Structure 1
Amino acid sequence: MDDPISVLHVDDDPSVAGLTTTFLEGANAEITVETAPSASDGLDRLAVDDIDCIVSDYDMPGQNGLEFLEAVRAEYPDMPFILFTGKGSEEIASEAISAGVTDYLQKEFSADHYTLLANRVQNVVERVRAQHENQRQLEAMETSREGISILDEDGYFTYVNHSFAALYRYPPDELIGEHWEVVSHDEDRDRIRTEILPAIEETGFWNGEMTGLRSDGTTFVEEKRFSTTANGNLICTVFDITEQQKSARQFETLIENIPGMVYRCQNAPGWPMENILGDAEELTGYTPSELESRKAVFGSEIIVSSDREETWHEVQDALATTKPFEITYRIKTKDGTTRWVWERGQGIYDSEGNVEALEGLITDLTKQKAYEQDLERTNAVLSTLIETLPVGILVEDESRTVLAINERLFELFGFDGSPEHIVGADCQSMAEHVSEHCVDPRGFVQRIETVVAERTPTDNEEIAFQSGQIVERSYRPIDLPQGDGHLWMYRDITEEKEQKEQLKHQRNKLEEFASVVSHDIRNPLTVAAGHLELARETSETAHLEEVKRSHDRIERIIDDLLWLAREGRDIGGTHPVVLPRVVENAWRQVETGDALLHTECESSVTADPDRLQQLFENLFRNAIEHGGSAVTVRVGEVDDGFFVEDDGCGIANAKRDLVLEDGYTTIPDGTGYGLSIVRKITEAHDWELELTESITGGARFEFSTDTFQS
């Protein structure tokens, strides 16, 4: 026995205690004895010392040996307790046994008797220790995740733990007494009898895979280990390796389908390969055996020479920090083809932190590299296109963050900085900033939020700015690698809108011209045709005069219409024009007959000289046509402009708005466009025109302008 035995001897006689200590320690070198003079002192020693066995006297003051035994059993139920007393009797022995004493021995003061006591101490301690060890092993077996069972010489279960029973889906007690065949598949039973049991008998051990049979008839892959005990029993240990095999098959499938190779190599120049899995031949042109046998050294022969030094340093830098590494480099295959590869690996370290090996994955990156290069070229073209487009471009991601923006958008909205500085900015904040300059700020922001939420394509939405600028907005939802995206296009259409308005105005004038041609010219033509027919029938020349008069009216109408079609509301360059001079020029261009002109102004006005003269010509012609050849026309000044009036019949209040409309006339030979031309020239100059009555009851036209200089 190797382990020491600590004995507590309780006796109220110090001489007996000393003698017992001497004999026990002399009889067995493994025994050490501690003494206590009473039961209470003994209990105190038990509380602080590790005691393996108690040897106690019976007859002691305070508590006798049996009372001491009861107190010990209450706290230490498994403690070996030998009653060693000089006052022996059958009654005391019976009571001691009933109280649970481990052994009973009467005192005899001889060396042989103390040797007997020492042997009994050793035996009870060994027995208790063995029981404790068995219990510990039993508890370990019961709590083990491994299936453990014990079979007798005939192959029947004498013990199974819970894990073993659970593997086969039996309650543990149902397997006790059953033969091993109950959990063995038919295919394995002959093999067990003819191969496995003979091997166990010869070597005492067997380990291998079998098929386990559950109580419900299902099976699983198991790893079984058999070993024999000294008494001829078999210990059987079972592991369910179904998932392990499944994982192994999955790993094999994974390795087979990896587009490259998994490796283990030395961290030495050339990185000599130790083990390779995967399709190394597809990647490099070399078989795994060629690489593992160093017929081709990966680091010094396969990696392109210009990439070797940089690749080596990148790996060593990562190893110095014990971090994994990711590197990209080129290799030259067995047939001389150059390929790009990507490698991810890590160091394998020993207990002292030294690199034992490298393990990792190498995969072909050639197609991806080509794709990246194509993508870079495409991005360069797109960037150039975005910058040269005549529209503002804004690209934002799902979180409304700016991904791309061009210079044109900066110009449209007056952003500060440059496009590069605004990438990453919040688009919502940018929209709020732009909205401050819109005619409808809230509508601008709300419309953007609605479009983004619905991801509905929109085209040509017009946005009006307080400056008068009009911007057209279009939207397209786009898909980005990181999620949804938004593409906005903004175009300044201010000039385009103005041009459209001009075209619309010109179209209206053409329509007006066509309408008049179809209506106003038809009337004098009809009159001329009628008089021509009468002239043919009667040969009277008076009818021919009427034809001529109708033709003259047509000519005047055409002249007015041509002016309206060509000039409209447009004027040329303006500058100060002296009124008396332009008035005299206009009077000379009109057939005035006996009419008189009085010019009572010396002022000037800023105007287009040609249009201003045309205005006076039409006013003079209107006065003569309606007031007669003896009418008097007067031109004079008012506070902020000038007037033209006559002493003719005037214009009734109800007709003053009508006479300024296109085509309105009250005389047969009138064109109806003279005063219309006056109105349009006035509007083109941004003047005010008021039609009133002169002092003599005739017509008076007053023109107000802030460019009049008296």
Structure 2
Amino acid sequence: MSGVSREGIRVLHVDDDRDVSELTATFLERADERFTVETAADAAEGLDRLEGCAFDCVVSDYEMPGLDGIEFLERVRESCPELPFILFTGKGSEAVASEAISAGVTDYLQKETGTDQYTVLANRVANAVEHARSQRRVERSERRLRKIVDSLPHLVYVVDEAGTYRLVNEALAEFHGTTVEAIEGSTVDDVLSDRAAAKFLQDFRSVIETGEPKHLSGVEVVDAEGHTHVFEPQIFPYDIGENGDRAVLGVTRDVTERAERERKLERLQHRTRALMHTETAEETARVATEAADAVLEARLSGVFLLDGPGEYLEPTAVVDAVREAFDEVPLYPRDAPEGSRAALVWDAFEAGEPVRVDDVPADDRVDESTPSRSVILHPMGDHGVFVVSAERTHAFSGTDEVLVEILATTLEAALDRTERRTELRSQRDEVERKNERLEEFTSVVSHDLRNPLTVLNGAVEAAEETGDPEHFDRCRDAVDRMDAMIENLLTLSRQGEAISEPESVDLAEAAVRAWGAVETDSERLAVETDRTIRADPDRLAQLLENLFRNAVEHGSTSPQSQAPEDAVEHGSTVPASQTQQDAVEHGSTSSRPAADDAADHGAADEASDDAEDGLAVRVGDLDGGFYVADDGRGIPADVRDDVFDSGFSTRSDNTGFGLAIVDRIAEAHDWEVVATESEDGGARFEVTGIEPAESATAEQTE
């Protein structure tokens, strides 16, 4: 028979009449070659033979000793509920047939005379077995389909034209916090919220009516725990195959994580754009930490940059919550002990590789208590480490880790840019300073040298005409003045250059040697310092010589009748013709070389007593520096701010560069020099911002 399976059929025939049983078996095997028939004399034997449901069909008589056919059927259904069971009995009645049907009999056939009945029975058995096998195949297919559907991570469902769920998978049931059985048979209105149901039914009807699939995006649905998810549903027309009912097959992808990633990335892009416009490292770090807090909800984040000596990773910017969570803002020293937070940060920095810890208290690399529970440490080249941290464990996803990498890379580029800007700004400022000095030099050359040149030209013409020696003297004076001016200009230019490596310099010794280089008469020097400072020795000597020369020339060589402001000397750098150590106060109790023996480190009173015999100059200590003071005529208050300007002088015989050179030397050392009035009414110059030698030594030792 076409379309009929040729698979063998094993039949158990149960009848208390053994002759009838054997006859039935013989005719059934003749009627269908697939049949193999075995017999049992009663229900009890039949139940024993059915152990394991090894047969494809049972054919049973009704009236038998012990259990009758209906009772036998009921017992079979207990162990083999799907096994075909045909009641083949000589006692037929409507009551028996009704009882058999109620008990779940597969078929009912009354015995007759003649052999044709066995053909009919064979057909009934074959049909029952084929139907049972088909049902099992369908069930297996359904189980496989169910297994496949339930294994899908997406939400899968079939909804019929009436809006009833005909099929849903485990993912959908889990999303709604219930079971597949609870949803199947329910309507869309029963399962979804009013808003979500209305939107779904609108799209559902569109697919039903047009027969065209529909792809949606950005659909938000709240799960059983109240969390909002973002879905991308795809809805397809679907034929249920029952009475032509129309339905839709839906496959819905949960894209919440992707949508959140896109939102974070968009917010991060907005934040990182601001990094391209920052001006300083501090501003750059602040923008980055604010981005970590706003985008990644990392409330304990901060940017830690390497300090100058390379011994600390210092907090350049942190989220405000860091100050609340920690007793003090963390500072990470290079020599931190193993197991500390600082050691972990330094390991990441020196390795140059990011470190992610999802549960800090459980990590064996950190045995120090900390409010941080999750952390991502991202090195930024030679700049430092970007610490992204939160107060909960497993706070960061793989997406967050990628976003931190983007933010840290952008931050590193921004720090590179701010460094370049700082360098360029410094170079630009240096160029501007050099241009200003060049303009200053040009102005002096073009203006100040013009006067002695004019005098020289006039004197030469007069000498040619008269031969008077007085005019030759005027020529020599003009040449000497130009020579002094040129020398001062060159000195001024050199003193504006960068200083050499500072050394430890004994200030008292430097003062004594500088005093010996200044031409003096009755002037006296009192040295009241034993301080050692960090300075370029040659530049410091030039500074002291110019201050001493200024004191001597404005305090002791000016006529008494000259106005006080005319007594200010601003420029002679002509070397003294001899060393005047005899003019230095004596009385030092310290043991020094010969040059130092001329210095008095505490003879201020003696210098004051001898002031009547000549100008007294004093060198003493200040907080962060030293001073040079005299008891001469002093500097009028209205010109004290101008005395350091190049070329400023109230005397026609001075070039006006001496104090300008002092100012340049101080600037090259990052010092500050100011002019004021001394206790004796004379001039006082205070030099501050000086690094003591012992401080520098201590830093190097550390």
TM-score where L is the length of structure 1: 0.32
**TM-score scaled by length of structure 2:** 0.32
User: Whose Rg is larger?
Assistant: 1
* Structure richer in strand, relative to its length: 1
